[in-house]
Amino acid sequence: MVDKTTAVVIGVSAGVVAAVLAAACVFLAIWLYRRRARVATRTRSMESSTVTLRDGPSSLASSVSISVVSESVADWAPPPEKRAAFWAWRGGGHNGRESPLSVSGIPKYHYKDLQKATSNFTTILGQGSFGPVYKAVMATGEVVAVKVLASDSSQGEREFQTEVALLSRLHHRNLVNLVGYCVEKGQRILIYEFMSNGSLARLLYGDNKRSLSWQERLQIAHDISHGIEYLHEGAVPPVIHRDLKSDNILLDHSMKAKVADFGLSKEEVYDGRKSGLKGTYGYMDPDYMSTNKFTKKSDVYSFGIILFELITGINPQQGLMEYINLAAIGAGDGRVDWGEILDKDLLVGNIPEEVRMLADVAYRCINKSPRKRPWISEVTQAISRLRQRQLMKHDRLTLARCETRTVLKRIEHQHLELSDLTSMKELTPVMGMSLF
């Protein structure tokens, strides 16, 4: 009997041990799976180790890259197998052949076609940190912009990969559309829709700058806010641009504004790591510069600077913040008098109240504390209300003009009738005399 009891106890104990071991194996498998998932997330995080400080919007060629030691290249570099899968080429590979592959449905262009469309790359439009940009007329008659990676670009390859990866899934009327790409003959080329009116910076500060009406400026601000709102709240996962500036706001033939240049953008991934400094001097969030933590509110800060550019016409590299701070110091009753720093082109006639209201919105966007800045959706709503207000005012003025024209026409008609009556009275005696 004792032997049977001992056997039962041993059997039960063995079963319990086996169950514990099985459970431990299951937990270990789950832990390894989650660990691999975290590693994959870190791998996808697109962080680089440079900060680009540009001297000014109109001098993109004078950009300077400063190394940042907060990250190493190994922290963000994708594994070789993923790079190979993305590019689908190795500069000839082992057998000397190139086998480019279309990425996420984005068409791949042939180098010889782009060479012909740009007259052997002579139709240059401008020069950026990525490389030169050319105007191209394709065989189909389509006009596009061709951006070529400069051979000495320190981070261009990564920016190229980022733009293709992001713009293959981001589509919005206020984002510049990526038409295609090319990775032949050792070249990395991006093809975009052609924006005939160039950049906002060129319109505000370029050699051939033009005077923008208040209606145009408000529409541009509205378009930009919609593009950023899509990145922050419409894209899944959300995308932070990280280099919003007037140089990266392009305008088409109808003056519709679109956000461009996603080379420094990244998906919003909360992995606990600090980001290396990236952006353009004059537009960078001070909190980001001190903490290395870039958030959506950092994009909001950059957009606030762009709004002040639209309002003042002052270049951020030429003391814009000093002018803003001086105007804010004089605010005694809590309301800032922005009249002193408004663009002189907006000072013709009565200064629209909407200009001051937009300046108040912009000032909230550049608050030193990110927590006190509005979300981009709140900024978009505020600008939409300003546009609605401006449109209603325009409709009232139009109606008043129409009513004035109607009244003038009636007066003119009555004047003609009175003239006819006067003429008839003058003719009546003459006719009477002829009867005798």
pLDDT tens digit string along 405-433?
667 777 776 676 677 667 666 655 544 54
pLDDT at 157: 78
Nearest in space to 161 (alpha carbons), one of 275, 246, 92, 84: 84
pLDDT at position 43 is: 43
Tokens 């899934």, residue located: 169
Predicted pLDDT of residue 131:
84
3-state secondary structure the chain: CHHHHHHHHHHHHHHHHHHHHHHHHHHHHHHHHHHHHHHHHHHHCCCCCEEEECCCCCCHHHCEEEECCCCCHHHHCCCHHHHHHHHCCCCCCCCCCCCCCCECCECECCHHHHHHHCCCCCCEEEECCCCEEEEEECCCCCEEEEEECCCCCCCHHHHHHHHHHHHCCCCCCCECCEEEEECCCCCCEEEEECCCCCEHHHHHHCCCCCCCCHHHHHHHHHHHHHHHHHHHHHCCCCEECCCCCHHHEEECCCCCEEECCCCCCEECCCCCCCCCCCCCCCCCCHHHHHHCCCCHHHHHHHHHHHHHHHHHCCCHHHCHHHHHHHHHHCCCCCCCCHHHHCCHHHCCCCCCHHHHHHHHHHHHHCCCCHHHCCCHHHHHHHHHHHHHHHHHHHHHHHHHHHHHHHHHHHHHHHHHHHHHHHHHHHHHHHHHHHCC
Q: What is the dihedral of CA 202, 208, 214, 217, to 10 degrees?
A: -20
pLDDT band at residue 227 under the 50/70/90 scheme: very high
Confidence of residue 250 (pLDDT cuts 50, 70, 90): very high
Q: 236 or 60: which carries more pLDDT confidence?
A: 236
Summarised one tens digit per residue, pLDDT across range 106-148 is 899 999 999 999 999 999 998 876 789 999 999 999 999 999 9
Q: Between 329 and 412, whose confidence is greater?
A: 329
The token duo for 369 is: 């504390």
What are the structural domain ranges in the chain?
78-194, 195-429
Using pLDDT thresholds of 50, 70 and 90, give the confidence band for residue 154: low
Exactly one of 113, 207, 243, 420 is catalytic; name it: 243
Residue 396's pLDDT is 64
Average of per-residue pLDDT across 220-248: 96
Are the beta carbons of 66 and 51 closer than 8 angstroms? Answer: yes
343 is catalytic: no
* Residue 402 exposed, middle or buried by CB count within 10 Å (0-12, 13-18, 19+): exposed
pLDDT confidence of residue 329: 83
- Distance CA(114)–CA(151), nearest Å, equals 18
Q: Which CATH number fits domain 78-194: 3.40.50.2020, 3.30.200.20, 3.90.1200.10, 3.10.20.30?
A: 3.30.200.20
Contact between 250 and 195 under an 8 Å Cβ cutoff? The reply is yes
Q: What is the pLDDT of residues 191-204, one digit of tens each?
A: 999 999 999 999 99
Residue type, 283: Y
* pLDDT per position as a tens digit, 278-300: 889 999 999 999 998 889 999 99
pLDDT at 121: 94
> Which of the four CATH numbers 3.60.10.10, 3.40.50.300, 1.10.287.3510, 1.10.510.10 does domain 195-429 have?
1.10.510.10
Q: Of 148, 153, 152, 149, which is closest to residue 136 (Cα–Cα)?
A: 148
Measured CA to CA, the distance from residue 373 to residue 363 in angstroms comes to 9
